[in-house]
Structure 1
Amino acid sequence: MSQLGHYTEAIIIGILFGLIARIWMLRTDYRQYPTYPHGYIIHLSLGLIAAALGAVAVPALLEKDFTAVTFLTVAAQQFRDVRNMEREMLLNLDEMELVPRGKSYIEGIAMVFEGRNYLTIFTSLLTSLAAVLFKSWWSGSIVGIIVLLLIRFIKSGQVIREIADVSEGEIRIEGPNLYVDDIYIMNIGLDDNKKHILENALGVVLKPKNASGRVTLGNMGQRQAIIHNVSTILGVYRDTGEPALLPLAKRDLKDGRLGIFLLPQDRNIKEVFEVINLTPVLEGAVRQPTQAQN
């Protein structure tokens, strides 16, 4: 086979595995983003472009066509612009939520979509490189499969159960004060709101496993992400104009425990525990004070 034929084969197999990687990393879940089908079309189109750039880069560089590096630089700028676009759109959508995601959660989602385009380029580039070096499409396929397995590991970050123990807390109202166990949540003035809370509320306490988890749970964005996930998956017993029925999370300043006041429509405490345990730890909320050098 001619050198041009090898390059064509490498480009095709690189684009194929890059697109497979992007499809693998793309899904619509409880966050309802990306939307289906139009959000899928946008992100798959960007994935195809990223895969093509990564696959073409190897033959171009081997032929000393260094303009390929310029194209990769332009692509990086475009993906940063996509991140900004996703952030702005999600911030606008967040204004319509009964329980908002919060800016930290939105920034994390936007960051993930940018990063996954880079992973697509990385997959197609390594697959194409292997196909060119070993001059066979099956060598590129083997490398592509290995990279896909690595991506599966990379794309799964920490979840709450890795940094905290989740347990049920008692909802108490003493006078106008609402507590989850002994953690103060907020002031409730109207008797009607107190009645709704006592009938429908659930309390959850998160006990951090170490100092790093304590600081991470103290992040306001992380708390809002937990509340949003529970409210989205299990529903929320509130409507607009009812600030007293807004789920909240407050911290015990002595030991760092996090008390969460929830109003799920599905009052199944086991499902609440599962949702909280599987809530992702936001990259912007992670703190590692126990690993700081003295």
Structure 2
Amino acid sequence: MNEYTYPILTGLIVGVLARLYMLRTDYRQYPTYLHGKIVHVAVGFIASGLGAVVVPSVMNKEFTAVTFLTIAASQFREVRNMERNTLSVLDEYELVKRGSTYIEGIAIAFESRNYLVILTSFAVTLAYLWINIVAAIVAAILALIAVKLLMSGGTVGEIADIEYVQPRFEGPGLYVDTVYIMNIGLPERRKEILENGMGFILKPKNANSKITLGNLGQRQAILHDVSTALGVYRDSGTPALVPLAKRDLQDGRLAVFVLPHEKDQQKALGIIAAVPTLENAIRMPSKKLKE
């Protein structure tokens, strides 16, 4: 062992711990399969190792070692492609699909978290070598706090006020509040929808929120998360029982119609509020107008 062994090991361990923290499974239940987790932990280990050895390499003027970071970046892009391809294939068998926008957001998150691991292990190793192990511990704590902040994006609850509205029929037309959802011709289906359906109105808080909620990918993410958490009352080949989200063209409100197995208003409100605002759906027209 030499003077760099303990700093590198410390950075490596903290980096792996950061990746494990970012890999936790939530109500969206991804990833749940063991081998998927192993892949991400292994890539996180490599990322952590790269971040930890950068500082000793630079201190020893081994600048060529830094070029490995460029190779790592290309490998992490492959992780992104792998997640995108895997989820796109799996999405074809979902009763309520995630949608391409949601899948792309997940893929970007998995790639970016490896870069966070590199930065975490780099900061810890640098603090250890530059000052001492106490500084490394402080750097580890600060890095983990930063990781927590950076991995938690915005949510629908931050951009909209959400309220429950019982779906209703006007003739064959299904409405949530005043927003038309779809036409249901069969009386049996109407009865099923009234018994099992739930409606929600999302009122955007500003012009930016109105555009974000209007994004089709953001709407699909809301439908998917509610259906994943509370179940969905439908099967393949039942188009009348498809959850939908439609806009009120007059004021930009979003009407959400779902058919959950568990009709719990409070849970559903909490789930919708916790749906992430997708990066690709965020628009800021008010900022553009100011410019």
Instruction: Report whether the alignment pairs 1:66 with 2:63.
Output: yes
Indicate the residue corresponding to 1:273 in structure 2. 269
Deviations 1:248-274 (A, max 9, x none): 000001110000111111111111101
Q: Which amino acid aligns with 1:72?
A: L
**Shift in Å, 1:157:** 0.8
**Any unmatched runs of 5+ in structure 1?**
none
Deviations 1:65-94 (A, max 9, x none): 112221000000000011001100000001
Bigger shift: residues 171-180 or 210-219:
171-180
1:126-137 → structure 2 map (5 Å cutoff)? 126-134=123-131, 136-137=132-133
**Match in the other structure for 2:219:** 223
Which one-letter code corresponds to 2:194 in the other structure?
L
Q: Do 1:28 and 1:36's aligned partners in 2 also have CA atoms closer than 8 Å?
A: no
The question of whether the paired residues in 2 share the 8 Å contact of 1:169 and 1:259 is answered with no
**SS of 1:6's equivalent?**
coil
Tell me the equivalent position of 1:9: 6
Identify the match of residue 100 of structure 2 among 98, 103, 106: 103
Match of 2:185 among 185, 189, 197: 189
Give the deviation of 1:32 after TM superposition. 2.3
Q: Is 2:230 aligned against 1:234?
A: yes
Task: Summarize the alignment of residues 82-121 of structure 1 with structure 2, pairs less than 5 Å apart.
Answer: 82-121=79-118
| Aligned partners of 1:33 and 1:39 also within 8 Å | no
| Counterpart position of 1:38 | 35
Amino acid at match of 1:174: E
Q: Find the partner of 1:261 among 244, 257, 265.
A: 257
**C-alpha separation between the residues in 2 aligned to 1:200 and 1:34?**
29
1:178 aligns with 2:155: no
**2:146 counterpart of 1:150:** yes
Contact 2:120 2:143 in 1 (8 A): yes
Asked whether 1:205 is paired with 2:219, we answer no
My pick for the range that moved more, 60-69 or 254-263, is 60-69
Superposed displacement of residue 46, structure 1: 0.7
Match of 2:135?
139
Tell me, yes or no, if the aligned pair for 2:57 and 2:66 is still in contact at 8 Å: no
Greater CA deviation, 119-128 or 185-194? 185-194
Number of the residue aligned with 2:51: 54
Cα deviation, residue 64, structure 1: 1.3
CA distance in 2, matches of 1:170, 1:237: 16
Report the Cα distance in structure 1 between the residues aligned to 2:26 and 2:88, rounded to whole angstroms. Answer: 18
Q: 2: distance between equivalents of 1:222 and 1:82?
A: 23
Question: Which portions of structure 1, spanning 4 or more consecutive aligned residues, are displaced by more than 2 angstroms?
Answer: 29-32
Whichever residue aligns with residue 84 of structure 2, its letter is R
Seq. identity, %? 54
For the residues of structure 1 that align with 2:222 and 2:50, how far apart are their CA atoms? 37
TM-score (norm 2): 0.97
> 5+ residue gaps in structure 2?
none
Equivalent of 1:291 in 269, 287, 290: 287
User: How large is the RMSD of aligned CA atoms in angstroms?
Assistant: 1.1
Alpha-carbon separation, structure 1, partners of 2:65 and 2:129: 16
Secondary structure (helix, strand or coil) at the match of 1:178 reads strand
* TM-superposition CA deviations, 1:95-134 (whole Å, max 9, x none): 1111011111111111100010000000001111111111
Kept in 1, the 8 Å contact 2:14–2:140? The answer is yes
